[in-house]
Structure formats: C-alpha cells, structure tokens
C-alpha cells in the first residue's frame, strides 16, 4: 500500500482538521475559521495564507442581508439550526464521521461499473442523497444527524448545464486541480471523484473529492469469479449503507492495529467530538458474546458465503 493510500483510509479520531495541513483539532491548537466564509478552519496563520490561492475561488463572504442566505436560514431552522453555517458544519461533520463508508461505497460502485475509467468516460460526479434527522433541541451526534437515501451518477456536462451547477463547478476548479496535483505522483492514481452531498428539502450542499486508484491487479476481480466479485461488492455496499443508517462510524484510526475498519461512536469531551472504537479486535467480538445492536445488524447484511465482516472490510481496503 502506498503512503497516499494509507493517508486516505486512515484518519484521526478527531472530526475537524486544518483545511491546509490536515492537523487534527485538539485542546492544544485553537483552530481559526476563515473570517470571510466561516466554512473552513486552519491551525495557524501560515496554513491560512498557504491555502488562500486554492480556497479563494470557493470562498464566498457571509452576507446576512443576502436574500438567498435568509431563505437558507429559514429552511434549516425547521431542523433546529440557528444559521445555515451551523447546518453546513453539521453536514461536514457527518460526511467526515462516515468518510470511510462513503469512500468505500463510491469505490465499490466504480468497480461494479467496470473500474476507474467509468468516472472519466464521460466525466461524472456522484450525488449522494441525504435526509436531515435533526430536530430543534435534539442530539447532534455527528454520526446520526442525517439518513442516507442513496446516490445517482451525473455527468459533469449535465450538472454544469444548469447555472447553479456551472457556478459551483467553476468555484471548485482550483480545489480539484490542487487535489489532482497532490495525488498525481502515484502512478496508480486515476483521478478525483467529486461527490456532491445533497439534502432533501434543503438547498445547501457539500462537495468532497475522493481520490481513485487503479487496482494493483490487471482486473480488480483477479483470482475471483465475476459472480463472486460482484456479490462481494454488493455486500460492501450493504455494509456501508447499514453502518451509516445505524450511526455506526467505521474508521481506521491513526495507530490502530487492525487493518479492517472498526465500528465506533463519537463522544463529546471538552467541546470536541472524538471517535472511540466499540472494540479493538473483530475476531474477539465475533467469538462472542456480541450484543452491540448496530454491529450485529452489520453482521447480518453480509450475504456472500464464507466471508466475514472483517474480511470484507479488508477486501475493500486492499482491492485498489
Ligand atoms: Zn494547518
Ligand atoms: Zn473562506
């Protein structure tokens, strides 16, 4: 596994990171928010300065009198958010909480469509549909704020044919280019997949870029029959969706021994949400007595014979 590969599957236990260097937020570092758009945080002035050329095109100043913003504030107030910024932060936290599941979900779908060429011919983006589960005064556990409804593939041509899409696409061009540059040293790098997170009845969304790699093998299913490979991918998809539905954040944390992602929950301490695994050894959990509701629900979604959840979690990690 290359270092880039490890970086993208391994994350820190803390939710928020510096937008430039990726340093996780902790008690020692007071993060500063971009004062113009309030939508990204940095660990230092240096990082803020360094990020500016790439951040600038997508940095939209907060204008409280903007009619569009006023409408957005009204939309999200029904779900208990004071402002659209508070909603956007909850959405970013949710995407980050389930980043392993969303990245694996995208990867499995790309394999089922025949491989990484699919995202380029013609250029596509994945639109993930979510529903907001927040209520005024309710819990804001970052892994449980939304429900996952599914996805649809959209071509970039179709997306940019509408003015809003064209505007957003242009604004994120510098970000896509920087991400591309950052990953292009890896010979297996096959491009960035833009993933658009849209929320039912709410007009604010978020975009993430997921790097895609060509598999080590000539074909991803080498050594496996196509039927077996497809059914493994179906299981991966079911596992990802189910973990998101149960608010069970699968993660590979820094320093974790298990190569397979572990299920965990977010705990709040000192104003920070921090991920904690529910256990550290899949084999020991499988040996019994089990009994953690969300985890047992995950175990039931696997349909492929002779494959266990930890094996499946390893397959998706090493397959590309
Ligand atoms: Zn930084
Ligand atoms: Zn900004």
Considering only 67-76, 143-152, 246-255, which range has the smallest mean pLDDT? Answer: 246-255
| pLDDT tens per residue, range 138-187 | 888 999 999 999 999 999 999 999 999 999 999 899 989 999 998 889 88
Cα 196 to middle of ligand 2, angstroms: 19
Q: Determine the average pLDDT of the residues in 296-310.
A: 86
HEC letters along the chain: CCHHHHHHHEECCECCECCCCCCECCCCCCCEECCCCCCCEECCHHHHHHHHHHHHHHCCCCCCCCHHHHHHHHHHHCCCCCCHHHHHHHHHHHHHHCHHHHHHHHHHHHHHCCCHHHHECCEEEEEEEEEECCCCCCCCCCCCCEEEEEEEEEEHHHHCCCHHHHHHHHHCHHHHHHHHHHHCCCCCEEEEEEEEEEECCEEEEEEEEEEEECCCCCCCCCCCCHHHHHHHHHHHHHHHHHHHHCCCEEEEECCCCCCCCEEEEEEEECCEEEEEECCCCHHHHHCCCCCCHHHHHHHHHCCCCCCCHHHHHHHHHHCC
Alpha carbon of 39 to ligand 2 centroid (Å): 6
At 220 the pLDDT is 52
Which residues form the domain of 223?
3-318
Per the structure, the count of domains in the chain is: 1
Which of 6-15, 120-129, 137-146 reaches the highest mean pLDDT?
120-129
Residues by chain with Cβ below 5 Å of ion ligand 1: 18, 20-21, 23, 43, 47
pLDDT band at 23 (very low <50, low <70, confident <90, very high): confident
């Amino acid at each position: 596994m290359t270092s880039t590969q490890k970086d993208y599957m391994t994350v820190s236990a803390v939710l928020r990171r510096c937008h430039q260097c990726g340093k996780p937020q902790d008690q020692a570092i007071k993060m500063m928010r971009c004062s113009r758009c309030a939508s990204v945080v940095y660990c230092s002035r240096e990082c803020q300065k360094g990020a500016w050329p790439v951040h600038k095109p997508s940095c939209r100043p907060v204008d409280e009198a903007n009619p569009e913003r006023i409408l957005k504030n009204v939309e999200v107030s029904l779900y208990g958010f004071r402002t659209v910024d508070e909603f956007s932060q909850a959405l970013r936290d949710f995407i980050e909480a389930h980043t392993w599941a969303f990245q694996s979900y995208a990867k499995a779908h790309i394999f089922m469509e025949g491989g990484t060429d699919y995202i380029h011919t013609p250029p596509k983006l994945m639109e993930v549909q979510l529903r907001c589960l927040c209520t005024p005064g309710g819990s804001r556990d970052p892994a449980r704020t939304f429900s996952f409804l599914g996805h649809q593939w959209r071509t970039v041509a179709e997306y940019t044919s509408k003015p809003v899409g064209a505007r957003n696409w242009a604004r994120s061009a510098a970000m896509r280019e920087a991400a591309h540059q950052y990953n292009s040293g890896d010979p297996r790098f096959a491009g960035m997949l833009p993933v658009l997170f849209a929320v039912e009845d709410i007009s604010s969304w978020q975009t993430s870029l997921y790097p895609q790699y060509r598999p080590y093998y000539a074909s991803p299913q080498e050594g496996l029959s196509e039927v077996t490979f497809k059914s493994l991918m179906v299981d991966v998809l079911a596992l990802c969706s189910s973990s998101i539905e149960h608010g069970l954040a699968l993660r590979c944390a820094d320093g974790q021994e298990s190569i397979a992602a572990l299920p965990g929950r977010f705990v709040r301490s000192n104003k920070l949400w921090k991920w904690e695994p529910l256990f550290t050894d899949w084999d020991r959990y499988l040996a019994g007595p089990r009994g953690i509701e969300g985890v047992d629900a995950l175990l039931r979604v696997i349909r492929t014979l002779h494959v266990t959840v930890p094996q499946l979690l390893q397959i998706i990690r090493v397959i590309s």
